[in-house]
Amino acid sequence: MPPTFGICAGCNKSIKTKEWLKCGVCARKHDLECANIPHMKFCQMDNDSKAAWRCPECRCKQPKSDNTNTPIRAAGNSLAVSLDSSDVCNVTLRRPANSTPGERNTSSDFITEDKLRTILKHEIRVAVKTTIEGIISDRLKTIDEQMSGFQEPVSFF
């Protein structure tokens, strides 16, 4: 059985060659493929470079620039659910498109103030006319019933 040099933290497979790197921060071992280091570059690295090498996870955790102006999050706001790094790796979320490029609004689709005023006047006229017609119709029915009520006693004479 060939000797193994540990388990690769990137792919969780056993490292079977002497060509691997140990992270200088977290001390986890990575094979060259998971470390994204070509064989030629690995051969050119001296012991100090290999000892100072940082794994991709530790490089991602390092701030990219000066973050002194970043507000500090309160302790109560910490996330309750910890996400597995493999679950959220390289996922880009985009909002769904509300409309296709052919369906975009043009300036003629918008209602101007004058158009809106005209539409409102028309709607108010229709509503007032309908209301007045209903009131007049009810009054005329009442008058008609009263007239019928007067005609019965008069016809008796």
What is the C-alpha to C-alpha distance for residues 55 and 35, in angstroms, rounded to an integer?
7
pLDDT for the residue 84: 53
Average pLDDT (36-47) is: 88
What is the C-alpha to C-alpha distance for residues 137 and 143, in angstroms, rounded to an integer?
10
Q: What's the domain count of the chain? A: 2
* Alpha helices, DSSP H, located in 17-112: 32-35, 39-44, 47-52, 56-61
pLDDT tens profile 116-146: 999 999 999 999 999 999 999 999 999 998 8
Q: Does any domain span residue 69?
A: no
pLDDT for the residue 60: 84
Q: Does any domain span residue 72?
A: no
| Structural domain boundaries, residue 60 | 1-64
pLDDT for the residue 141: 93
Backbone angles phi, psi at 145, to 5 degrees: -65, -40
Q: Does any domain span residue 147?
A: yes
What is the C-alpha to C-alpha distance for residues 85 and 83, in angstroms, rounded to an integer?
6
Q: Does any domain span residue 146?
A: yes
Domain end (from 29, 49, 64): 64
Domain end (from 64, 82, 99): 64
Q: Does any domain span residue 102?
A: no
pTM value > 0.75: no
pLDDT tens profile 82-102: 555 555 566 677 787 766 555
The number of beta carbons lying within 10 Å of the beta carbon of residue 97 is: 8
